[in-house]
Chain A
């Protein structure tokens, strides 16, 4: 399991760069993670990220797009606008969570 330095913090990541210890995440770190993949974090982004963090703490699984829409209340179109092309993976990466496993 590689350790990488992001924004001055040593964090554990998997081979692709996803954080493997959610407790090493912080909102400040999220800003840098987002920049790494070309996203400038806004309050709108952070609301989604906070939902993902909260949902993961409760369920132990990263929410899928469908769950972010139905449980979190964020419209699918908005998610594709905020995290273009691969929203599920990008949201999970910035939130310091594993990639979602669900099919839908």
Chain B
């Protein structure tokens, strides 16, 4: 059915100024667990939502220069690979699983972790490193990806993200 509208139909992109904010805590450092937070954060940024990312514990690997290019995926302890658990312990399996996953991710046009961080940074995200994790690992700002906005305490992060929706990964 076709109906001619007298008033033009215009999308209401900015009608709802909700001031919506999203805070994402990234606590895992494996390749597979690096992506959910980055993908969702990036999607939120594209919808005009303010996004703060807090990297803590193993999540620190995503923003540490030494490790960010070399995150790994292991089959061990991951029943969702639907392979016998013993296989994951064989020599070279983590390297193989990592390169397979990297290829699958690249095939769908999704960037590697360092490029992805740059993408969310350029899209307006704020990146925070956890003070406690930095102290535990004797890491300073010089060891971190240059896009990180600062090393802050958990309390500071809670303060900065007042009113935000929270996602823990």
**Chain B interfacial residues counted at CB < 8 A:** 28
A3 touches B3 (CB 8 A): yes
- Tell me which of B8, B11, B47, B119 contacts A66 (CB under 8 A): B119
Alpha-carbon distance A93/B13, docked complex (angstroms): 10
A66 / chain B contacts, CB cutoff of 8 Å:
109-111, 119
A85 touches B14 (CB 8 A): yes
Task: Give the shortest distance, in Å, between B114 (CB) and chain A (any CB).
Answer: 14
Given known pairs A5-B5, A36-B8, A104-B39, the reply for A90 and B13 (CB within 8 Å) is: yes
B42 at the interface (CB under 8 A from A): yes
- Tell me which of A15, A38, A84, A103 contacts B39 (CB under 8 A): A103
Task: Give the shortest distance, in Å, between B22 (CB) and chain A (any CB).
Answer: 14
Alpha-carbon distance A90/B11, docked complex (angstroms): 9
A88 touches B46 (CB 8 A): yes
Interface of chain A residues 15 through 57 with chain B (CB within 8 A): 15-18, 36-38
Task: Give the shortest distance, in Å, between B149 (CB) and chain A (any CB).
Answer: 16
Alpha-carbon distance A15/B146, docked complex (angstroms): 43
Q: B8-20: contact bitstring with A at CB < 8 Å (1 yes, 0 no)?
A: 1111011000000
Q: A62-83: contact bitstring with B at CB < 8 Å (1 yes, 0 no)?
A: 0011110100000111001000
Alpha-carbon distance A6/B10, docked complex (angstroms): 10
A13 to chain B: closest residue by CB? B9
Residue positions of A touching B, CB distance < 8 A: 1-6, 10, 13, 15-18, 36-38, 64-67, 69, 75-77, 80, 84-90, 93, 102-104
Can you add 9 more A-B contacts, CB < 8 Å, to A2-B4, A76-B119, A103-B43?
A3-B4, A16-B9, A80-B123, A85-B48, A86-B13, A90-B13, A103-B110, A104-B109, A104-B111
